[in-house]
Amino acid sequence: MNHQADHIHPSTVEPAGPSPDRREFLRIAGTSAAAAGMLSTAGGTAFAAAPMGAALPSGADNFYTSNQVIVQQVSFKSQYRMTVTGTLFVPSTLDRKKRTPAIVVGHPMGAVKEQSANLYATKMAERGFVALSVDLAFWGGSEGQPRNAVSPDMYSETFSAAVDFLGSQAFVDRQQIGAIGVCGSGSFVISAAKIDPRLKAIATVSMYDMGAANRNALNHSQTLAQRKQIIAAAAAQRDVEFNGGAVQYTGGTVLRLKADTHPIQREFFDFYRTPRGEFTPLGASSQTTTMPTLSSNVKFMNFYPFNDIETISPRPLLFITGDQAHSKEFSEDAYQRAAEPKELHYVPGAGHVDLYDRVTLIPWDKLASFFDRHLIKARA
């Protein structure tokens, strides 16, 4: 696969601000890799970060591969003529003369398809589905400048472009295409499904509503005054970049731990900054992975994926969250707003990041039975 080879301009990770408190707030509240570290820890479980070389958490296997699956790197155009890169996973026993149900899988916000999405796609292919993991626009191998930019509409478009691609494959049943959105992609796939009825069944895992997370932070712990500070900083940075200044980044996962590092940041660090899940695409910098650009991150303030979520009905929705996840409020909110058929499934003992890669915790049979049942029904 040809990744984007564009150079990311070096820049400080933490945006400049009027005071140390302001800088710390932006570092914690900036939301990229699943809005890590949003001020409040209520309802979450803290995980100490594993040092390099330490044993992985039980069952963690982000880079899992299978000899039951044929893997192919693919690329295709979105509606906006931007190249989307993906990895296609096909069961090795697939009869290519028949049409088979397919599933699109989206990665966590700030991640790339090699982080969680490939794992989910592989496991679904083992269970007989054609599966396609994709890099969202501006991330990984997919096109879009500047790198790491935030554009909720383009992210949702990535899912629809993936449906375009899958529907063109002779061995895929275009009437039986579903999707899985992990973390931030859960909100992007819901946004896509509201206006793309070709997505026949939608599952989210450890979902973040990236709009609400940016407007309000976890547990509505961010004030309007703080929100306006963030908006003002982004607007000021636009002026800097328009006049040739360096791109700056916000949020994401910290590069190193300190004694007072936020517990939720520790949870993300354990995945994104250790061999458990670290992945730097070609042309990118390990210093800015997971971190969206400061000037674009405010686009999430105008993102309301759960508005009109009930219009997805009668297509089914499955929301999967850990019962210890700091993010479970978003799955619960979506479930309350959605119309039938819908299901909210709690994974006992699981935190947010656990469901990225801990294969012994992720409810594979639940996902497979959901798509088996509803994609076949969609064809009837």
pLDDT tens, position by position, for the chain (380 residues)? 333 322 222 222 333 333 333 333 333 334 433 344 333 322 233 333 344 556 789 999 999 999 999 999 999 999 999 999 999 999 999 999 999 999 999 999 999 999 999 999 999 999 999 999 999 999 999 999 999 999 999 999 999 999 999 999 999 999 999 999 999 999 999 999 999 999 999 999 999 999 999 999 999 999 999 999 999 999 999 999 999 999 999 999 999 999 999 999 999 999 999 999 999 999 999 999 999 999 999 999 999 999 999 999 999 999 999 999 999 999 999 999 999 999 999 999 999 999 999 999 999 999 999 999 999 877 76
* Inter-residue contact 266 to 48 (CB < 8 Å): yes
Q: How far apart are CA 76 and CA 142, in angstroms?
A: 9
- Between CA 10 and CA 306, with CA 157 as vertex, the angle to 5 degrees is 100
By the 8 A CB rule, do 206 and 353 touch? yes
CA 320/CA 355 separation, integer angstroms: 9
Report strand pairing: 199-205 vs 172-182.
parallel
Strand order in the sheet with 69-77: 69-77, 83-91, 130-134, 100-106, 172-182, 199-205, 317-322, 342-347
Structure-token pair, residue 85: 């890169």
Q: What's the CA gap between 234 and 244, in Å, rounded?
A: 15
- The CA angle 99-105-109, to the nearest 5 degrees, is 165
**Coil vs helix vs strand at 177:** strand
Helix axis angle for 185-195 and 328-337, nearest 10°, is 20
First to last CA, the chain: 37
DSSP string computed for 200-255: EEEEEES---HHHHHHH-GGG---HHHHHHHHHHHHHHHHHHHTTPPP-B--S--S
Of 182, 367, 363, nearest to 375 (Cα)?
367
Count the helix, strand and coil residues of the chain and give each as a percent rounded to the nearest 5: 35, 15, 50
pLDDT at 166: 98
Q: How far is residue 207's CA from residue 109's CA, in Å, rounded to a whole number?
A: 10
Q: Is 135 helix (H, G, I), strand (E, B) or coil?
A: coil
Please compute, for residue 172, the number of CA atoms within 13 A of its CA located in the half-sphere on the CB side. Answer: 25
